[in-house]
Structures are given as C-alpha cells and as structure tokens.
Chains A and B, each alone.
Chain A
Amino acid sequence: MDFKLSEEQQMLQDTVARLVRGEYTFEKRLQFSATEAGFSEDFWKQLGELGLTAVPFAEELGGFGGTGVEVQAVMTELGRGLCLEPYLQSIILGGGLIEQAGNDQQKQQWLPGVASGELQVAVGLQEPQSYYDLNEVATRAEQTAAGYTLNGRKAVVIGGHNAGLLVVSARTSGDVRDTAGISLFAIDPNAEGVERRVYPTIDGAKGCDVILNNVTVPADALLGSEGQAGDIIEYQAGRAIAALCAEAVGVMETTTELTLDYLKTRKQFGVPIGRFQVLQHRMVDMMSELEQARSMAILAASVANQAQGDERRRTLAAAKNVIGRAGQFISENAIQSHGGIGMTWEYNFAHYAKRLITINHQLGDDDVHLERYAALMQAS
C-alpha cells in the first residue's frame, strides 16, 4: 500500500504547478475569461508544447500512455489555478471518445492534433430534456446515400463555441432512453445546419447549445460502429468524472487555503476572527470534507482506466457524490466565513466557489450519483 506519487508522476505535477503559478494570476484569469475564446490560447499552447495535453494518449498516437493517476496530477494543479482551458473537454472526454470509439483511420486523422493541443474538441452528450442521463438521446441521425443527416439539440457543450471539432451523440436506432442504438459523430462545427447559441458560464468559461438542423455528414463522420456508443460514452464519462474529482480537489485546496488565511488576518472585535471557536470548527469541518474528497479522488483515479464493471461504476459514483457534497459544503462555508468580501467579483476566492458548484453540475450531481450508487449497491 503506497499513496505516494512516483518520481515521474511528482515531476509531472510539479511541472503543471510551476506553469500555473507563473502564468495564471487571478488578474490574468479575468482577462482570459473575457476574451472570445474564454481561456488563454497562449497557455493552452504551452500545455501542448510541454507535452501535457498528450499525457493520457497512447504512445503510438503521440501520447505518454498516462493513466488516471497522471491525469489526476495534471487536473489537480489546473484546479488549483482555476484554469479555464478545455483540458477536460478536449483531452479527456473528446480525445478519449475518439480513441475508444474511432477506427484506425479516424484516430490517425484527429488524435495527434488533439494530443498536441492544435485541434480542440468539444463534446455534446447531454440534451435539454436528458438531465444527466447520457443514454437519453433524442437527437436522431438518419442514414442517407451519402452518409447521415442529424437533427436535434445538444445542451451545454462547454468549449463548443470555438472548438475545431464537435463530437456528439445521436440515435441511429431504438427508443429515446435505450442504451443500444446510440452513435457518436465527429462533425465540423461550421457545417451547414449547425447553429451554436453561445453563452458565458457561471464559472467564467464559455459554452453553447448546439442545434443540429438537417446537418449532413459523410459516412466516415460516424465514430466506430453504428449504435454501439452507449458503453463507450459511459466509460469515457467515467474517466472524465475521475478527472473532475481531481480538479475539484485542487479548487478545494485553494479555497480552503484562502479561507484559512482570511481567518488569520481579518480582525473584528480587536482579534483575528480565527480566534472564534465557531469559525474554527467550521474551518475544521471544511478541511475534513477536503480530506474525504482527496481520498475519493485518489480512489477514482485508481479505477479510471480499469476495465468497466460494477466495481468501477460504484467507485466513480461514490467519488462524484463525495466531491459534489464536499464542494458545495466548502463553497458555501467559505463564502460565509469571508462575509461580505466573499460576495464580491473582484476578490479571487468567490470564483473558486463558483467553480466548485459548477463541477457538481458536470456529469451528474451528488443526488444523481447517490441514486446510481444505491442501484448498484451490494446486498451485504
């Protein structure tokens, strides 16, 4: 039993940490957020140049063959810096879907670009009516002589506004909630019939709803086999959940550090407010939540790349549940501990709180994952 990172893993984490510390000040983040991309294209480029965007990909595709633990190391540091870059969407989820579902030719076509950061992928798996159920796909892809015609709407596609490639799920057969009959398509965001309703997100990034109106794509836009994508989506969403857990831990670390610092410096009634027991105990409760979250992020990372099975499903559901609750607890109590200043836009802390709540809305909140876990729970 050993919870320490290997030397290589530690080096990887230190590299990301240094980069984030150097480039990602809070003032710069506000500027990045306000650009059209909604993140720093320079910083993204640096991640690519240092090979960090290639971490999870297989070596023959230009990657490092990193597993959940390596991804955890990267994501935690991106979380600590509250980075806006589409690592989760493009590298973990988009790249992961193409790598698992795509045929050799498709992988060769797209993955080297994804791994180097040059091709940014956004992923549309949710729909306005689907809540967090990725099997609920009403978007339809009808086969035509030349390929497929897609109609439907994909909801809250983070990074979809400036991605070079969209990966979306669409139904090629079956009923709206069937696992079978879901297919994945790689589509050009600028193709005719693709409408994007772009918006900023509450945590400072950008996203869009993608409306597909008679979008015709060639046959080779279908990733892998027709109707077989349900399991692949579930698997890759699992990897993304583990990555989100790691990011959340990074965000929580900074949040608790800022809050602790505030308790030690803010004075009222002539003393630092950290002298008051009620605030001390609240801080301890926050740290305790962080410890539980850290434990579950480790566990999630350890199963992220394992073969699918109920053990993996349970672990990931448990992890996302713990992280969702811890995130909300820390977010709310950190705001409360800060008082009025915690409510302001110009103070960095509040943006961390917003990211934590947002993470709970990505790939299922704590209620959804509790329900999932309960359904898979062993009888004894």
Chain B
Amino acid sequence: MNINYTAEELAFRDEVRAFLDDKLPADIAEKVKGLRKLSKEDHQRWQKILSAQGWYATHWPAEHGGVEWSAVQKHIWDEESCRYGVPRTIPFGVNMVAPVIIKFGNEQQKQQYLPRILSGEDWWCQGYSEPGAGSDLASLKTRAVRDGDHYIVNGQKTWTTLGQHADMIFCLVRTNTEVKAQEGISFLLIDMNTPGITVRPIITLDGEHEVNEVFFEDVKVPLANLVGEEDKGWTYAKYLLTYERTGLAGIGLSKAALGHLKSLASRRLKHGRPLIEDTGFSQRIAQVEIDLMAAAISNLRIIASVEGGGVPGAESSMLKVRGTEIRQTINDLARRAIGPYAIPFIEEELALDFDGDYLSDEYAAPLSAHYFNNRKLSIFGGSNEIQKNIVSKMILGL
C-alpha cells in the first residue's frame, strides 16, 4: 500500500508542468479559467501545439501516432491540465471515432482519417442521439438504405455538440428494420459537406450555441464509409461509449472549479468579512471539498486497478454520478457566492472580446450561466439514472 506517486511518476509530472509552463498560451488559459467559451481557432491553435509535442492522441497506439501513456500518466496529465487551464480536448475525433476506426476500421479508413484527426484537419462531431432516441439509444430511426455503391441516409440527429464547426460526423444509422433494435444498426462516417445535410443551432438555457440538430435528406454516403460490418454498429457504439465514460467524473475539473470557488469566496463579503469565513458558507465549501477528496481517491483506486491489469467496468459509472454531482454542487456554490449579482445576464460581458466595464466583476459575469450550462453533466454521456442502471445490472446483478 502506497498511495503516493513513484519517482518516475513525479518526474513525468515535472515534465508535464514544464511543457505547460512553456507552451500553453496565456490568453487561452485565461479564457478557460474565466469560464469563457473558446473559439474554434483557440481549440485548433492549442491542438497544433499538443500534436507537435506528440501528446494529442492519448488513447491511440504508437504506430498511429498515439502517446502510450499509462493510466497513471493519463491521470497526471488530466490533473495538471485542469490546474493550468488547458482547454478540454474536443473528444469526438481523437478520443471517440479514432479508437473505433483503429479497432474496427479497414486499412484504407485508417490511412484516410487518422492522420487528418491528428493534424486537426478534420473536426468531427457525433451523430448518436435523436429526438426519439436519448437514453434508449438503440431505438434510433435515421435510415440508411443501400443504392448501388452508396447508402441513402434520411433522418435527424440531435444534441450534436459543436456540429456547427464540423467537417465530419460519425453516425449510428438503421440499416435493418427486420431484426432486434440493436442488431440493425450500422456505423457510418459522413462528410458534413454532402448535399442534403442541414445543421440548425439549438440555443441552450444559458443562451449558448453549443449543440445542434443535424438533418439528413437523401444524403448519399459511399459504401466505403461503413465502419466494420453492416448491422454490427451497436457493438462499435458500445466500445466507443467505454471511452466516453472514462474521465466523465471530471475530478481534475472539479479541483480547478473548487479552487476558483474558494478564491471567489475570499473576495466576496458578508457582514463585512470574506464570505469564506462565514460559518455556514465555509462548511458548505468544506463539505464539497471533502466529498471531492473521497471521489479523487476512488478515482485513483480505479486507475491503479487498471494499471495493475484490471478492467474499469461499471465502477466508472458510479464515479461519473458522484463526480458530476460534486461539480454541480461547486457550480451551485459559486453562483450563490455572488449573491444578487447572480441575477444580471449580460451576454456582452461573456463575449470573447469584451473589454468594457463589468457590472460587478469579470469573474462574476459567467457564473449563473455556467451553473445552468453544467446541469448537462448529469444528463450527457449516459444520464446519471442510466449509469445507476448499469451499476445495478453489472455490479449488483439486479
């Protein structure tokens, strides 16, 4: 039993810190820490820096240009990058479709797509959810029908995160209606510039344009864009979801958010004293800090078991629930900390280039919107209720 990092792991952490000290652009880190939205250009600029370092593809084997970090190294990277204000990696290309292509795609697909993901040439988005298929994903209805050397795709996808920027979308489509729902699904790679595709923004409750609806009307997709076998897409989709679930607990992000909350509570006043010295408020912060401490150790235990040859199973589902609840609590406290200034909703102050006079403070402006935005945490990546179903079935055998 030794819950500390080894000397090699500490050396790796130093290497990560040195890289971030040296290469992370200050303006980007500032936006991340200030809870500002990043532009497509911001994301691409940072991705190029990461790629140049060889640290972009953390889930890939080396032969395709991945960096083969151990579970502990990935964890260290995650912790440090959250602490530094590194932009979150847009996962759809590098961490979601790429592992599927690597495992189930053919040679030609690997050569065509992987280098472009690594270089940032292609921006990917995810076509899973549909208006009638959320938690019950297998009930999806978007149809792909063979027509010569093409599929003709018709239907609608939704909650397509950052689809407005995307060059490519990976989609689950129905290719067989005669069999059980799960057995008639295929995994297609579709060029977003194909005629018949329409992207419509969905404005979320915080006024942001992050997600979209994507409509397909007689969209012609070459048969060569089918990954693996027809009707076997559900298997690939599930494989992808295991990648999606890792890291959804967001321990590093919660630590960063907690630091932000404490500094906020040190600057706001109640009865003329810093809010963090108020008994009630400091105990609320203390409680979430304690819960985060426990979740962080639980996370490390999962990481250590993976490192020791174990498989992260439904334990990560349990941690996803716990971790997202913690982050939402922190967001809640941050909103509370600014008191009445949680009420004004001044969108100009949230803009990337705002340099005017803040009504309250720079740090106060986005807090309410951020709180509402992060209600998504317990919904996406498999809602927390779905995660509990998974634990109930896989661990408890109920």
Is A299 an interface position by the 8 A CB rule? yes
Could you say which residues of chain B place their CB within 8 Å of the CB of A105? none
Contact pick for A379, options B2, B266, B303, CB 8 Å: B266
Could you say which residues of chain B place their CB within 8 Å of the CB of A6? 1
Could you say which residues of chain A place their CB within 8 Å of the CB of B294? 292-293, 295-296, 318, 322
Contact across chains for A284 and B391 when beta carbons are under 8 A apart: yes
Could you say which residues of chain B place their CB within 8 Å of the CB of A379? 262, 266, 276
A321 to B289, CA, bound (A): 11
A13 CB to nearest chain B CB (Å): 12
Q: Mark B108-120, 1 if CB is under 8 A from A, else 0.
A: 0000000000000
Q: Taking A318-B290, A322-B294 as contacts, is the C-beta distance between A3 and B300 under 8 angstroms?
A: yes
A128 to B88, CA, bound (A): 55
Q: Taking A1-B6, A321-B290, A370-B286 as contacts, is the C-beta distance between A280 and B389 under 8 angstroms?
A: yes
A295 CB to nearest chain B CB (Å): 4
Q: Taking A1-B2, A291-B318, A370-B286 as contacts, is the C-beta distance between A264 and B263 under 8 angstroms?
A: no
Q: Taking A1-B5, A295-B298 as contacts, is the C-beta distance between A288 and B293 under 8 angstroms?
A: no
Is A2 an interface position by the 8 A CB rule? yes
Q: Taking A318-B290, A380-B263 as contacts, is the C-beta distance between A283 and B3 under 8 angstroms?
A: no
A373 to B287, CA, bound (A): 9
A300 CB to nearest chain B CB (Å): 10
Is A149 an interface position by the 8 A CB rule? no
Could you say which residues of chain B place their CB within 8 Å of the CB of A4? 1, 308
Is B395 an interface position by the 8 A CB rule? yes
A94 CB to nearest chain B CB (Å): 26
Contact across chains for A370 and B3 when beta carbons are under 8 A apart: no
Could you say which residues of chain A place their CB within 8 Å of the CB of B11? none
B303 CB to nearest chain A CB (Å): 8
Contact across chains for A2 and B72 when beta carbons are under 8 A apart: no
A277 CB to nearest chain B CB (Å): 7
A232 to B254, CA, bound (A): 36
Question: In the complex, which residues 256-299 of chain B have their Cβ closer than 8 Å to any Cβ of chain A?
Answer: 259, 262-263, 266, 276, 279, 282-283, 285-287, 289-291, 293-295, 297-298
B233 CB to nearest chain A CB (Å): 28
Contact across chains for A302 and B3 when beta carbons are under 8 A apart: yes
Is B208 an interface position by the 8 A CB rule? no
Contact across chains for B1 and A5 when beta carbons are under 8 A apart: yes
Is B392 an interface position by the 8 A CB rule? yes
Contact across chains for A1 and B290 when beta carbons are under 8 A apart: no
A133 to B94, CA, bound (A): 55
Could you say which residues of chain B place their CB within 8 Å of the CB of A374? 279, 282-283, 285-286
Contact across chains for B304 and A2 when beta carbons are under 8 A apart: yes
Contact across chains for A296 and B293 when beta carbons are under 8 A apart: yes
Could you say which residues of chain B place their CB within 8 Å of the CB of A295? 294-295, 297-298, 301
A374 to B6, CA, bound (A): 31
Is B179 an interface position by the 8 A CB rule? no
Contact across chains for B300 and A287 when beta carbons are under 8 A apart: no
A255 CB to nearest chain B CB (Å): 14
Q: How many A residues have CB within 8 A of the partner chain?
A: 41
A56 to B388, CA, bound (A): 40
A76 CB to nearest chain B CB (Å): 13
Is B173 an interface position by the 8 A CB rule? no
Contact across chains for B297 and A2 when beta carbons are under 8 A apart: no
Is B322 an interface position by the 8 A CB rule? yes
Could you say which residues of chain B place their CB within 8 Å of the CB of A294? 298
Contact across chains for B1 and A299 when beta carbons are under 8 A apart: no
A371 to B5, CA, bound (A): 30
Contact across chains for A280 and B289 when beta carbons are under 8 A apart: no
Contact across chains for A280 and B285 when beta carbons are under 8 A apart: no
**How many contacts between A and B, using CB within 8 angstroms?**
125
Could you say which residues of chain B place their CB within 8 Å of the CB of A284? 318, 321, 388, 391-392, 396
B255 CB to nearest chain A CB (Å): 11
Is B340 an interface position by the 8 A CB rule? no
Contact across chains for A274 and B398 when beta carbons are under 8 A apart: yes
A335 CB to nearest chain B CB (Å): 18
Could you say which residues of chain B place their CB within 8 Å of the CB of A299? 3, 293, 297
Could you say which residues of chain A place their CB within 8 Å of the CB of B298? 291-292, 294-295
Is B193 an interface position by the 8 A CB rule? no
Could you say which residues of chain B place their CB within 8 Å of the CB of A9? 1
A295 to B323, CA, bound (A): 14
B156 CB to nearest chain A CB (Å): 29
Contact across chains for A287 and B6 when beta carbons are under 8 A apart: no
Could you say which residues of chain A place their CB within 8 Å of the CB of B289? 318, 373, 377
Could you say which residues of chain B place their CB within 8 Å of the CB of A285? 388
A43 to B168, CA, bound (A): 69
Contact across chains for B1 and A1 when beta carbons are under 8 A apart: no
Residue of B nearest to A322 (CB): B294
Could you say which residues of chain A place their CB within 8 Å of the CB of B291? 292, 322
Q: Taking A292-B291, A379-B262 as contacts, is the C-beta distance between A283 and B392 under 8 angstroms?
A: yes
Is A304 an interface position by the 8 A CB rule? no
B139 CB to nearest chain A CB (Å): 18
Q: Mark A153-182, 1 if CB is under 8 A from B, else 0.
A: 000000000000000000000000000000
Residue of A nearest to B266 (CB): A379
A295 to B282, CA, bound (A): 23
Contact across chains for A380 and B283 when beta carbons are under 8 A apart: no
A296 to B321, CA, bound (A): 18
Q: Mark A350-380, 1 if CB is under 8 A from B, else 0.
A: 0000000000000000000011011001111
Listed from nearest, the 3 A-B pairs whose CB atoms lie closest are A295-B297, A374-B286, A280-B392
Q: A1-B72, A295-B294, A380-B266 are known contacts; what are 5 more A-B pairs with Cβ within 8 Å?
A: A1-B2, A3-B305, A260-B396, A318-B290, A378-B262
- B residues with a Cβ closer than 8 A to A are 1-6, 9, 72, 259, 262-263, 266, 276, 279, 282-283, 285-287, 289-291, 293-295, 297-298, 300-301, 303-305, 307-308, 315, 318, 321-322, 385, 388-389, 391-392, 395-398
- A residues with a Cβ closer than 8 A to B are 1-6, 9, 69, 260, 263-264, 274-275, 277, 280-281, 283-285, 287-288, 291-296, 298-299, 302, 318, 321-322, 370-371, 373-374, 377-380
**CB-defined A-B contacts under 8 Å, sample of 22:** A1-B304, A3-B301, A3-B304, A9-B1, A263-B398, A280-B388, A280-B396, A281-B388, A283-B392, A287-B391, A288-B322, A291-B318, A292-B294, A295-B295, A295-B298, A298-B1, A298-B301, A318-B289, A322-B291, A322-B294, A370-B286, A379-B266
